[in-house]
Structure formats: structure tokens, C-alpha cells
Chains A and B, each alone.
Chain A
Amino acid sequence: MKTKSFIIALVAGAFALTSCQDKDWGVPENIITQPPYGNNSLVAGTTTTIAELQNKYSNAISNDSYKQITDDLWLRCVVTGNDYGGNIYKQISVQDETGGIIIGINGSDQGAFMPVGQKLLISLKDLCIGGYGNQAQIGGVYNGGLGRMELSTWKQHVRLVTDGTDEAVGFGTMKVDTIDFDATKTMAQQSGRVVRLSGVTISGEGTQILAPDDGSVGLTSNCANRTISGGNAGSKCVLRTSTYADFKGIALPKEPVDLYGVATIYRGTWQILARTQSDLTWVK
């Protein structure tokens, strides 16, 4: 009898032990309020604005040099462009109510961690700011010039701010509206911002591929620059599309269209960077 009981217990025990080890995993707690990306211990000190930064470092920006920020300054801003669509590479664009700027980060898929609309608190001290083709940019030093900062550096200097947290209060009612492109505006007034171009024509109209890599269009750094004219485009404006963009293969419109994108400048020419296919309104 004892033997039987023992055996039954042994067999029952074996079955009982065989519970699944790879359990159903749920979303980890606290990843919304304490994102596992960036530095959650950052608390804002003396804040500045994008316009103030561009003004303070205007010489470095216009000279295509850079300066390391030595003051303990903090920036509150909102992400307006990233690599999600494959057209912007290792950069994000951010805006506050005073302007926009590009931040270079040596990391991919940053659009997944910092989607458009994400509020950022950035500790600027020790980061670099300067110009590349006269476009204002925050980053790090690479080969003696301004380049992207290492991802680990960026993660130490940024806090992703979630609505409802104490740090979100500092953003107040910050609005980062899309503005109508105006070719007469200065770099500081318009670059880094999301702009709308209306009734414009794109060169190569009617061709089947926006950014071909077959040699039919001249490329610079794997990007096709197609001239934008008419409407509010002014005289020096291009639609810059990477041959790695998810929407590189779309056809160009024959008729004037509206489009959106991040306005950047390169030596006097406005370069419009569409972020995703939805910025190109003619694509259904």
C-alpha cells in the first residue's frame, strides 16, 4: 500500500512539476512612466529654447564649426521627424515653440523609441552644437568636426517625458504646429521645422520612381534631390529622398501637389525631407 501511494505521488508530482516555464509575458510594469530608454533621473534646471541656442551659437552654425556646450542648460522639445520612414538617417528633428533643430545620434531605429510627438527633456551640457552646410545641429565630435553623438551619450542626456509625470508640467501648452513653407525665411526661422508646401511641382514629374538607384537620377550620399517649384517653394528648394526610404519607389505626380516634410538647409538650398509616405499627399 505504501509502495502504491509512493508511486502515485511520484507520478502525480512529475505531472504537477511540468508546468510551463516560458510563461505568458505581459508588458513590463512602469515602462511608460519609467521608460527603459534615456535617463529617467534627469530633472530640468535652467531651460533654454531652440531659438536662444541658435542665436547663442550662430557663429559656429554659420561657419560649419562646432562648440561644446559648457553651460548647464536644458531644452524641452518635441520630436517632429525621425528615421521611421527610412528617409532620415541617424537624425531626429525636434521643435519647440521658437524653432527647430536637428540632433545627430549614432543609432538606428530611433523613430521607434522617439516617435513624432514624443516630448524630450535634454541636458545640453557637454553636447556639441554647430553647423553642417549651415544647418544647425546638435551632436558629437567626429573626425574633428561636428557629427553624430554616440547612442549611449544620447541616452545619458535625454529623458523621454510622459504625460502625467512631474516633468511634463514644464512643457505647459507647448505647440509645435506645422507651418507653411516660406522661402524668404532665415535658417533660424524655419529650418528643423515641419513645413507644408502647397501647389508645387516636382521635377521628373510622371516618372515611376521617386528615388531610383539605377543611375537615372544623380544621387548625393544615396539621396535623390528633385527640384520643387511653383506654389510656395521659392527658387532653391528640393525634395530630398534617400534610396533607402520605404517610399523611394513611389511614382511622381504629374500635377501640382501639396507635400509636407522637415525643412533643412544646405548651403542656401532648402531640402525638404518627407518623413513617411503620408507626407506625400498624392500617394493614396
Chain B
Amino acid sequence: MHMKKKHLLLVLTFAVAPQSYAQTPETEVLDTLSTVEEDLLSDDSNFTFTESQLGENDDMTSDVIQINSNSNVYLNQIGWAWSGGMWFKYRALDNAYNDIYVNGVQVNNPENGRFTYSTIGGINDAVRNKDDVGAFEDNSYSFSGMGGSTNYNLRASRMAAGHKITLSGANRNYTLRGIYSFGTGLSKEGWAFFGTVGYRWANMHTANVKGTFYNSLSYFLAVEKVINDKHSLNLATWGNPTERATAGASTDEANWLANDYLYNPYWGYQGGKMRASRVVNNYEPSVLATWDFKINDEMKLVTSAFFKLAKYKTTKLNYNGTNPHPDYWKRFPSYNYNVWGNEEDKNYDSDAFWTSYENWQDESYRQINFDELYFANTQLNKIGADAIYWIEARHNDHLMTNLSSSYEWKFRPGVKWTVGMQLLSNRGSHYQTMDDLLGGQYFHNTNTYLVGDYSQTATEAMYDVNHGYQRIVEGDRFRYDYDIWNQDIKLWTCFSMDKDIQHNFITARVGGRRMWREGFMRNGLFQDNSFGKSGKAHFMDGGLKMGSTLNLGNGHAVTAGVGYELKAPTASVAFMCPEMNNDFVQDLRNEKVVTAEVGYAISNRWLRLNLTGYYYYTHDGNEWQQYYNDDINSFSYNSLTGVKKEHYGVELGARVRITGDLDLVALGTYSEAKYIDNTNVTWMSSTTGELNQEVCHNKDMRASGTPLAAASLGLNYRFKRWYLNLTGNYYDRIYLSYSTNMRYEQNMKNAGRYHSGEFDVPEQAKGNGGFMFNASIGRQFQVAHHPLSVNLQLCNLTNRRNITTGGYEQSRSNYSVTETENSGTESTTKPRTYNFEKNPKKFYTQGFNFMLNLNYRF
């Protein structure tokens, strides 16, 4: 009878949840997840959902922030709710504003400020203990980042004791996963050991996106010795050698022709077998040593040393001729017919249009034809010519050493002072190698963009004058080879105090950074400033932040915080053209950041609620891009300086206990994240080496790759050892990464977008939002007196395939620019039938997908 009542209530609640929760009886204090739910979800909370999507692609916009906070329902829940198939960036911030620490050492990539979550993928059991804070929460390890901070506790004594086996099956980026973990807990002798090893796998037939695969081993080992009451030492090492094939974004036309929202142009057939052209190999073995010194009951000192040797390699099919990629714009039907209805520009080539359409129906046409590429190269071997197609590998390796120490003094109850230091040295090695000549004999290390203006063997066209007209074979370095050195020192402090109804904190940091480049090739266009060391650039930065929480009683609280920061530019934006020379960007400055946040919180027996408003203003920001620029028929390197942006919005998180077994979670955010002024650009052409000034009309361009509006309603039901979750999400205002090139003043003039002194700036491309429903069901069993948890996650239940996760506008033009024949100086623009502006490349959500997860502890 009791059970029937609960089921009836469950049904009613699903039907009228928004109306019913306020009338349900209060049962107990609502604080944390129930044991069953925690056990079932802990292994597969936001981490598992997102681990194969987070930060794995250096060149994509999926740099999601994995945020959490136990004191804020919104922060606590969004990782779970908005990661199943979507990319969601907290406050639409770049991942670089989210600071990640391990035992107090910051481990963000020093060159771009980002943290690659995939480097801790597959070691879920080792990274479960963590301290997450929002942007305006004080903590004992950092001056928290704009996007919050996380400190993973990797001490062996804090890991769960016993054995645990996890087996998973999914139809996502990987198909199978197995993890084994073992921990001793802290022995009487003061020793603790923890180890975990995992493997994630999918091949090209089983991965959700055709033509990709996933092959990742992961391990983590930690040993801790508690020497006495005051001292303990911990040594941890981990890594996850991973090999995986990546997928590319596509235009809607390509997806339509392929009848697949996940159409992936990066693979093809070779000898009848599937082959990926873009394969990432990544291995970042890390070692962390930590000394905990408990000086007395009030004082402690945590000191850590971190060492990492990162090897990252990603391959790409390249060419010296016509683009062999199947989604090359000239292969589309719309290359021959203006499908956008501008009759004036119509240049309908009916035969070519239909031939192209028919071709696209054949999978061998819409994927890479490796056999043909091999054949071309073997033909060229006959005449002793360079390979025309090849697979090259870009390497971004790092040798990183970081020391940190933090001292905490609780000098009276409720009053705490911490001070810390971070020292960092990083050498980033960036070079390109010839991965596969695809049957060709060799290739010359020549800037082919310059051949014509200079002869093939001219000094100017050589990428490395020191080696002359150099033949490149597989394994050789070519095109560029340089190191970026980055050295940082950072001091920070935080003072917090509880007084009456207040909790106040003030935190500050000051830092110094120096960086330089060392080139190992003497570029023919920059013979005097490409080989050897550059000058050193020095920056000083710092920040101040304070916040307060007022406890108004009866579970009501108000929070507020303000901050001001100077952020030194990272090496990734500091060099004008690091692949070619040593020059720094001109007019490089610290980014200035103003932050503010106010919040209201309720916490009582049946409701936890957080309502937060925030405002971030940044100026003097720096950005850097490289791409092929149609208007100059060359590759270009573009530095944007003096970038001004605003991020602001409201966030709501509420967890309502309806009954003791049932609660409802409501989340919502509406935000804005945009440039608030046009930006000055300095760009350089790869064929002239000259610097040019421009203005990019990027005012009002929005942050991309995330919904700027999202809402969620979820129900969690616990019954005995069962757990059920049903969540409905809505996403909207999803923008695609805007093209700077399309909004340069000269280019807009070329495009006929300049009238009577006014620029007609193109609207930023948008993606589709929509509803998505996810569910999770789990149960805990006892097998041989040990707990076995079974959990099935079902994502995108309605199989919505047309929701855009991200993408970008193409940096190509709707016209070609050529010298006006016989004019010498004037240029002529000629409209193209193909409309790049109407053809942004997009990523879409996976359709219905699942993960079945089994955990057995013994």
C-alpha cells in the first residue's frame, strides 16, 4: 500500500511537477544526494558524461568548463544536466578562465591558460576528491579564476579503500570502458596506496561518429606516507596514452547530401578499409610530489612539486594543389548554382550541378579517396617530383615544472589567512613532421605559397635556409620548429573572517611572467629574426577580489563580490607569427578584468535555491588567429588587441524536496557574452611578411559554442535501492564562432558592404537550439556480499539531431579578388556562386545515445 502510494505520487508529480512541489510535505533536511543516488551517479556524474567531449580538440571551440560547487545548486548541477550531448560553457567563458589545481599546484597549460580535461580521463576514481569553488568563493589554494577553480586532492590516503571494477558500454565517442581501482586506505604504519588502470575503446565501426575511433589507456598510482602527526609525503603519477580520430564540422548542405547530421569529412577508404586522416596521439605523463606539514592545530603548510612531459601530436591531410578533402567547396552542388535565390548572381551550370549532386550520393565521393592520393604520388615519383598529397603532424609538446606552496593559519575561530606561491617553468616545443607521404618519395621544405613569385629553389621560399633546398622524408621536421619558453611567478593571499551574520573574504594576487621564443629554422622570409632566441617579454599582473555572505536567518542569505584583475597575455597570443619568426605582437598589454556578482540563496528542509547575477567586463584583451585569407590569396596571421567584452547574466538553481524520495531540480540561465567595441587588428601575410593594420567590426559578436540561454527541469526519484532521473533541457541562443576576416573593413568594401560611409556588417551565424530529454535509471544490488551498482543513462530520448553544439563561420569570401588585368595596382572582385557566408560549418548533437555502467566494489 505504501509502495502504491509512492508510485501514484511519482506519476502525479511527473504530470504536474511545477505546480505540485510547493504542496508536498516537508520530510527532512535537504542537503546532499542520497547514498544510493550518490553511489550510482558518482562514477558517472558530469565527468563520464563529458569526459569524451571536454577539451580534447585543440583546434575546436569545445573548450568547456567543468564547474562545480557544493554551496551553489546551479554550479553543482549544470555539469550533470547540461553536458549530455551539448557543449556548455559556464558564463560563456573560455576554458582559460577556469583554474585547475592538483594538490595546490596549478596545471593549466601555461601557453594558452586552458586545462585539457581529457588528460585526467579514465582515472575517475582518482579525481573524485576535489574542492570546487565559484569565482567569488574563498578557498585555501588559490585566487579563484573568473570561471571558478578546482583543486583535485590526489593523496592516496583520501582514496577509497578496496577493489572496484567498472565496466561500461556506450554508443558515444567510445564503446567500451573498463576500469580497475584498488586502494589500501591508510595503514597503521602510516602507508597508503592507490592505483587505478582503465581502458576506453571504440573502433571506426562502433564509434558514434563514423570514421572516428578511440583508444585510450589510463593509469594513476599514488603512495602516501604519513610520517608522524605533523608530516606526510605523497607521490602520485598518472597518464593516459590516447590515440583517437577526430571528426570535422560540416555545412548543412554536406549534412543534407550525406543524410547525416554527424557527417564527418575527415576519413576515407584506402584499399577498401576505413582510414582516418586526423588522428591525435596524446600522452602527458605527470608526477606530483606533495609534502603536508601540519605545524599545529591552527597552521599548515602544503608544498607540491609537479612535473609533466606532454606529447601531443595531431595529423592532417595536406596538399600542394587542389584540396582533396571531400567537403571542399568546389565539390558541392551549390558551387554551380546559387541556391540562395539571388538571381542577379545566378550562374547556373545545370550539368555540373546535377553531376555534383549525383556524386554526393556515393559514399566514396563524399569521403577521402586515399587510393587516388596514393596513385597521384606514385605517378609523380615517376618524374622525380615532390609528393602532392601527404599527412603531416603538428606537435605541441610541453615540459612543465611547477612548484607551489601555501600556508594556512586559522588564528582564531572563523578567521583564516592563507598565503601561497606558484613558480612555473614551461617549454613548449612546436614543430611539424612528415607523418605519411602517401606513397610519395619526398617533399621539399619550401613555402609553396611563394613559389611563382620566387623560384622553387630560391632562398626566400625556403622554410629553413640553414638546410637549403631540403628534401623531407617521413619523420622529418619541416615548415616550422620552435620552442616557446614561459616562466611565471605568482604570489597570492586570502583573508576570510566570520563575524556575526557575515562571512567576508578578501584575496589578492601578484605575478610576473616572462616568455621568449627560440627558433630552430631560419625562415627564408625572415632570415634575421627567425633562428635562435628572441628577446624576452616581461609582464607583471595581479588582482584583488572581495566577497561577502550575509546570513539573514531562516536559511536565507545574500552574497556579493567584486574584483579587479590584470591578466598577462599568454604565449598563444603574444607572438605575431611564431611559425615564421621571433616577433612579438605590437602593443601587447595586460588584459583588464572587472568582475561583480550578487546572489540570493535559500536553504531549508525542502528547498535549496540560488539566484545569482553577474557582470564581467574585460578590456585590452588579446586574441590571435591564423587562416587562409581569400582577399590576399595567402595564409594570414592575425592579432587582435584591445579587445573589449562584456559577460553578464542571471543564473537560477533550485532543488526542491517533494517527498523523502522525490525531488525536483530546476536550473536556468540567461546570459550575454559579447564584444562591445570593434577591434584593431594587425595581420601579416605569409607571402610578403609585411604587417598591415585593420579594423575588425566585431562589435556585438557573441561567444560561441555554448547556449546563452538554457533551462532545465529534472526529477530525481529514489526508492529503496533504485534511482531514477528524468531531465528535460532547453537550449537557445547558440552562436557560431564568427569570422574576423569577413568583418575587416577592406574585406567588407571588397564584398560591397560599404555604402555612404557605413559598413553593413554581416550578422553572426547562429545554430539551432531546442529541447532535449535525458534519463538515468540505476539500482544497487548485493552480489557475494558486496555492492554492485548498475546504471543506465539515456541521452536525447527523442533523438533530436538538429540541435547545434557549436561550429564556425568559414573564413573565406563570397568573391575572389584578383589584380585588375593590366592595371598593375587595382584589384577586381568577382562574385562567387558559392556563398561562404551562408555556409557555416556546424557540429550537431548526437542522436539518442546511452551508457550502461556497472560498478562492483569488493
Which A residues have a C-beta under 8 Å from some C-beta of B? 3, 7, 10-11, 13-15, 17-18, 20-22, 25, 27-29, 31-32, 35-37, 84, 86, 106-109, 112-118, 150, 152, 213-216, 218-220, 222, 244-250, 277, 283
Contact = CB atoms under 8 A, between A and B. Distances in A.
B355 A28 contact: no
B575 interface: no
Interface string B241-279: 101010000000000000000000000001100011001
Max chain B C-beta neighbours (<10 A), residue from A84, A214, A215, A219: A215
Given A3-B163, A18-B241, A28-B270, A115 B452 contact: no
A11 B163 CA distance: 13
A35 B379 CA distance: 10
Contact of B199 (A17, A35, A107, A118): A17
B322 A249 contact: no
Interface in B805-830: 818-819, 821-825
A43 to B, nearest CB: 21
Given A14-B178, A37-B375, A108-B322, A244 B452 contact: yes
Given A27-B374, A246-B456, A277-B456, A112 B388 contact: yes
B487 to A, nearest CB: 36
Contact of B271 (A29, A245, A283): A29
Given A10-B180, A215-B822, A215-B825, A18 B215 contact: yes
Contacts of A214: 819, 824-825
Contacts of B383: 84, 115-117
Nearest to A216: B824
6 contacts: A10-B178, A14-B198, A112-B377, A117-B382, A215-B824, A277-B456
A219 B245 CA distance: 47
Contacts of A277: 455-456
Top 4 nearest A-B pairs (CB, nearest first) are A215-B824, A36-B371, A28-B271, A112-B376
B586 to A, nearest CB: 29
A220 B822 CA distance: 9
A25 B823 contact: no
Max chain B C-beta neighbours (<10 A), residue from A18, A28, A213, A247: A28
B243 A3 contact: no
Given A14-B178, A21-B243, A109-B388, A247 B455 contact: yes
Nearest to B382: A115
Contacts of B276: 22
B203 interface: yes
A118 B352 CA distance: 27
A61 B270 CA distance: 43
B379 A25 contact: no
Nearest to B826: A215
A106 B351 CA distance: 12
Contact of A115 (B241, B379, B818): B379
A11 to B, nearest CB: 5
Interface residues of B, number: 60
A22 B245 contact: yes
Interface of B: 163, 165, 178, 180, 182, 197-199, 201, 203-204, 213, 215-217, 241, 243, 245, 270-271, 275-276, 279, 321-322, 351-352, 355, 359, 369-372, 374-380, 382-383, 385, 388, 436, 439, 451-456, 818-819, 821-825, 858
Contacts, number: 135
A269 to B, nearest CB: 19
Contact of B321 (A10, A109, A115, A247): A109
B115 to A, nearest CB: 24
Nearest to B179: A14
Contacts of A114: 379
Nearest to A14: B199
Given A22-B213, A113-B375, 12 more contacts: A11-B197, A13-B178, A14-B217, A18-B216, A20-B215, A22-B279, A27-B374, A27-B439, A29-B271, A36-B371, A112-B321, A214-B819
A258 to B, nearest CB: 19
A36 B369 contact: yes
B180 A11 contact: yes
Contacts of A13: 178
Contacts of A115: 379-380, 382-383, 385
Given A21-B203, A28-B270, A112 B379 contact: yes
A153 to B, nearest CB: 8
A249 B453 CA distance: 5
A52 B108 CA distance: 73
Contacts of B216: 18
A11 B271 CA distance: 34
A147 B669 CA distance: 59
Contact of B821 (A20, A116, A219, A246): A219
Contact of B378 (A3, A20, A29, A32): A32
Contacts of B243: 20-22
Contacts of A222: 818, 821
A218 B822 contact: yes
Contacts of B201: 17
B369 A109 contact: no
A64 B5 CA distance: 91
A120 to B, nearest CB: 13
B321 A215 contact: no
Contacts of A3: 163, 858
Contact of B165 (A10, A29, A117): A10
Contacts of A112: 321, 376-377, 379-380, 388
A31 B369 CA distance: 12
B782 to A, nearest CB: 17
Max chain A C-beta neighbours (<10 A), residue from B204, B351, B452, B456: B452
